Structure 1
Amino acid sequence: MSGSRAEAEQKGGSRQRLQVNEYKENQNIADISLRPVQTTVLGKIAKVYLVPFSLSNYKTGQLKRPKSLLDKNSNNEVTCKKSKKAEVKKSCRKILTPKMEATSSKEESTLQKSSLDVHAESSKWQYKSPSDTVVLSPDTESSQEGDSDEDTTPGLDDFSELSPYERKRLKNISENANFFASLQLSESAARLREMIKKRQPPESKRKKPKKKENGTGCRRSMRLLKVDPSGVPLPAAPTQTILEVDENPLIPPGPLEMTPENRDDDNELFKGFLQTWAEMSKTRSKNTEKELSSIKSYKANLNGMVISEDTVCKVTKGSVSSMAIHPSEMRTLVAAGAKSGQVGLWDLTHQPKEDGVYLFQPHSQPVSCLYFSPASPAHLLSLSYDGTLRCGDFSRAVFEEVYRDERRSFSSFDFLTEDASTLIVGHWDGSMSLVDRRTPGTSCERLIKSSLSKIRTVHVHPVHRQYFITAGLRDVHIYDARCLNPSRNQPLISLTEHTKSIASAYFSPLTGNRVVTTCADCKLRIFDSSCMSSKIPLRTTIRHNTITGRWLTRFQAVWDPKQEDCVIVGSMAHPRRVEIFHETGKWVHSFLGGECLASVCSINAMHPTRYILAGGNSSGRVHVFMN
């Protein structure tokens, strides 16, 4: 039996791969295999320690000769494959070296001899330990582990003794290697690296062209070079201190003397001008009960109103922002407020017409509201964005200060009483002020907050003067002056039919039974305010172009003080005109002037008793239609 075992071991020794496993006793089968435990020690010499075991419990005939060590160890190879896969791949490279082949052949021969000695002396020793320890060098371990995974090691002469699994594995490895070789991945990777590699352009140092000293250069201004035409340098100009001047300096508080800006002399002529205005105020006709004329007679009177070159004159230097006509029936006196803060007075009876124009500067910012006092037409009250309200007294030739608040900007005002002693002033920030003029120097002002974020116009009811109407951004509110308090006030009536910005809102002049509003949605709306309830109905909507742009003053539709059922408004239509509409929405009349009216009259005013219409444009020119 020992001879047959030696032959089997010699056949196994002809191959390079040998696995040393743990000795393990298996009593379920007749054969007993030797499976030494593999342990790696960093050393150069491979030593094998063998411990004999007893075969006294087994009969000699029961032992069978194994086919080969490789056949016995194939099962253990599959078990240990997963745990040692990482080490096997590293050791595969070491197997291919000639040095390792020589070392592995010597170790295999040593192991074969040891195994023969073990079988020869097995009957003399008793079994002491279930496992034996095998210490191998790193080269030996690498060669053995590499053979378990890589079977393409050079020097394998006999492949017929390999198991079917090993032959199939070798075939797969060979096919995979040939497939990857056919793909030529290394060559493709090299080509890609060359393509991706950025090619830096060669640095080319551009030589700057040399300046030609004697060459002809570009022409330069001798003024900028500070050289006169003969080539002689000019002397240095003396340095001057430049003072920053405010374009719109505030007018100092207190009364201002009426000093015309467009006249330097002729004081006697100016005194005669002021005397004329004062006398016309004394001889004014008192207000009496008026009856509305029929539309037919009203149209006939409007048709008689014409314009000429003598009734067109430039009154202010800037755009006209407010207009008022003196109530005198003897003379035609027109006042215009400008965006530059100027107030211009024009007496149309003077010839030439330029001699009847006098220009004053009582404010520093736009004059948005201008009224003659109902109690004394010799007083012209003007309100400005600069936070001042002044009264021009023609009898004393002075502009008195009625109300001043530099922290707020004023937008509009109106008289709460017929004697003009109490005023309601609207601010751009949505607040209002009640001003009492009966205490000069210490005017009683009371600041009131409204429910609007901004107030454009303020107008008092002509009959029930406790009511006043305010136009805001999108809403129109009616308040009761008797119920105002310093905190935020709720309106008595709100008109919320508007969809865009509102320019103005005014009561009808005689009865106050109508309200007209001008909105940026190209509509004029007329409301029925005959009954002051929680809501007043919308009576009429008139389609009218109100888009004036940024350079023109916005349209403001106003009532004719003689015919309170008719509205006057400027127009963007060509040829330029001023139109009148009835409260029912019907067109009544258009004032056309031909060459005398070639611009848009945004602000218009009608004489309270006579058929005289004055319209101002954005260049400071006033156009007057009269019969």
Structure 2
Amino acid sequence: MAPEKLTEYERRRIENIKRNEEMLAALKIQSRVSELSAVTKRPRAQSKSYQASPQKKQKSKSPVVLRRSLRTKGIPPDSSTAGGIKDDSDDLPDRIAPNKYSQPAPKKSPREPIPISMRDAYSGDFDVSNQRLIETIKDFSHKIDDGDDRIEKRKASGTVHLESLRLEPDNIARVVPGRILNVRFFPTNNVRMVAVGNKFGNIGFWNVDAPQEDGDGIYLYHPHSGPVSGIVMDPFSASKMFTSCYDGFIRVMDIEKEMFDLAYLSEHPIFSISQWPHDMNSIYYGEGSGELGICDLRAGKSSVSWKLHEERINTIDFTSENCNIMATSSTDGSACIWDLRKVSAHKPKSLQTVRHKRAVHSAYFSPSGRFLATTSIDNTVGLLSGANYEDTSMVSHFNHTNRWISSFRGIWGWDDSYIYIGNMQRGVDVISVADKKLDFTLRSEHMTAIPCRFDAHQDKVGMLAGATSGGQVYIWTAS
């Protein structure tokens, strides 16, 4: 059969294809593509991070978005879930990469006042990781209950030689995405574990001593819909942990039930929480513009509400010697000491008030209860002492941070000697109470971010956790 005669268009098309193939061969495009493909498939070393998961697929820098109608997804047009991924940009001004936090949403929205199972709130790919954390916490919780790891009412006390504090590379991990607002050690000697809360409503756990088969020991949950404003560890029951949020929720993580249960729901944002030392069923919380409430966990409702400040309450703390003595710090520029037995609902009057020129972000009692340390954005750390805290000293310290970095909060260590607070040079400043001045700065080549929030392990003298606005946790230990 004679070949069909080509049209002029077809002939030119064949010539163009042939010419393009010759050009590609001359430029060696195919060989370069093969080389690049081989490079990208090389295994990369993993660091300790919530992102480190060999099962997860690597996300492209330019993801392809498939547009599908709500009708094909089975979602009504007026559904509140329209749009798919929750936009966190309103809660946090930090600049984030596209799709960085587009994790699968919990099956039950954290905005709803209902219990959320830990499995539904877990942000990982596999249920086995969630179960590892649950079993780990259950294990050391039972040891505390059985008396093998009994936690006393007061934290461990001892003097630390500042020069002996070290930061080892294995004690550094990125636990959550974004800014950390709270960091707490679990009250146990058997396992070094911290919990952190961030601006996105995530709760992250890091088991520093996790066995190799458990991976990096980092677990990420999403039980809240806004910034996590407080974390409280029950010192007598490590199986329960309380968290508060700007969305007005107080949730209790109950390991025995494997749930993030609802403990209390407020009509206003909750900015701080604390637990009354002599009653584990009483949670004190700061809400709205300066109100302090007391939640009875057994009844699930607020029993008391006092107007203590003109602006939000940032921290609530109690002395170890007298649980009726409470301190509050506020954005209104004051820190107050209260006697709960004498607080009137109509006109509360503080035992002592220290005023700063700017917002006060923290007020914490020393381990003995003899001192109160306040941290203000006016570049001072206040120190109250005396029988009735009538003596006030101000120590100069640069406390200004920018909009992307959490405010500094000075905390006490394991005795009344030092106050630990972050600085803008990626170090930890140590203020001497005796000298009333900056005495020492903890520095390390491994510290690559600014530590803002701290916690001192209540049972291990010399173990200090610092958290950053990039989601990292650094743990200093005494050598």
| TM over 0.5, shorter chain | yes
> Matched residues in 2 for 1:502 and 1:581: separation?
18
User: Does the 8 Å contact 1:313/1:354 carry over to 2?
Assistant: no
Matches within 5 A, 1:345-364: 345-351=205-211, 354-364=215-225
Matches within 5 A, 1:15-26: none
Are 1:397 and 2:248 matched, yes or no? no
* CA distance 1:454–1:286, shift in 2 (3 Å): closer
User: Does the 8 Å contact 1:451/1:490 carry over to 2?
Assistant: no
1:261-320 alpha-carbon deviations (Å, 9 max, x no partner): 3422252x53233222122232433327788545xxx21xx4333223322111111210
User: In the alignment, what sits opposite 1:484?
Assistant: 343
User: In the alignment, what sits opposite 2:375?
Assistant: 518
User: Does the 8 Å contact 2:358/2:376 carry over to 1?
Assistant: yes
Between structures 1 and 2, the one with greater helix share: 1
* CA distance 1:420–1:612, shift in 2 (3 Å): same
Bigger radius of gyration among the two? 1
Segments of 4+ moved more than 6 angstroms? 288-291
User: In the alignment, what sits opposite 1:599?
Assistant: 449
Matches within 5 A, 1:433-582: 433-439=293-299, 442-472=300-330, 473-496=332-355, 498-509=356-367, 511-528=368-385, 530-532=386-388, 536-538=390-392, 540-560=393-413, 562-573=414-425, 576-582=426-432
Amino acid at match of 2:391: P
Are 1:608 and 2:458 matched, yes or no? yes
SS at match of 2:289: coil
SS at match of 2:261: strand
> Matched residues in 2 for 1:402 and 1:492: separation?
31
User: In the alignment, what sits opposite 1:148?
Assistant: none
Unaligned runs of 5+ in 1: 1-236
Q: Number of aligned residue pairs: give it.
A: 372
Matches within 5 A, 1:181-580: 240=69, 243=82, 247=87, 251-259=111-119, 261-267=122-128, 269-281=129-141, 282=144, 283-287=148-152, 293-294=158-159, 298-299=160-161, 302-351=162-211, 354-405=215-266, 407-439=267-299, 442-472=300-330, 473-496=332-355, 498-509=356-367, 511-528=368-385, 530-532=386-388, 536-538=390-392, 540-560=393-413, 562-573=414-425, 576-580=426-430
Amino acid at match of 2:297: R
1:475-521 alpha-carbon deviations (Å, 9 max, x no partner): 1122222233443423232212x112211111112x21101011112
Amino acid at match of 1:582: S
Out of 470, 473, 479, which is 1:622 matched to? Answer: 473
Q: Which one scores higher on RCO, CA 8 angstroms, separation ≥ 6?
A: 2
Q: How far off its partner does 1:588 sit?
A: 4.3
User: Does the 8 Å contact 1:565/1:583 carry over to 2?
Assistant: yes
> Matched residues in 1 for 2:199 and 2:346: separation?
32
User: Does the 8 Å contact 2:363/2:373 carry over to 1?
Assistant: yes
TM-score by length of 2: 0.72
Q: How far off its partner does 1:569 sit?
A: 0.6
User: Does the 8 Å contact 2:362/2:374 carry over to 1?
Assistant: yes
Between structures 1 and 2, the one with greater strand share: 2
User: Does the 8 Å contact 2:336/2:350 carry over to 1?
Assistant: yes
* CA distance 1:590–1:258, shift in 2 (3 Å): same
User: Does the 8 Å contact 2:277/2:318 carry over to 1?
Assistant: no
Unaligned runs of 5+ in 2: 1-65, 71-76, 89-108
SS at match of 1:278: helix
1:323-360 alpha-carbon deviations (Å, 9 max, x no partner): 10112112100111101111001101125585311111
> Matched residues in 2 for 1:314 and 1:239: separation?
35
> Matched residues in 2 for 1:291 and 1:401: separation?
32
User: Does the 8 Å contact 1:451/1:488 carry over to 2?
Assistant: no
User: In the alignment, what sits opposite 2:433?
Assistant: 583
User: Does the 8 Å contact 1:451/1:491 carry over to 2?
Assistant: no
> Matched residues in 2 for 1:354 and 1:251: separation?
31
User: Does the 8 Å contact 2:427/2:442 carry over to 1?
Assistant: yes
1:574-603 alpha-carbon deviations (Å, 9 max, x no partner): xx2112222132444432220x21110101
Identity %: 22
**Backbone CA RMSD of aligned residues:** 2.5
SS at match of 2:278: coil
SS at match of 1:274: helix
User: Does the 8 Å contact 1:413/1:458 carry over to 2?
Assistant: yes
> Matched residues in 1 for 2:156 and 2:168: separation?
31
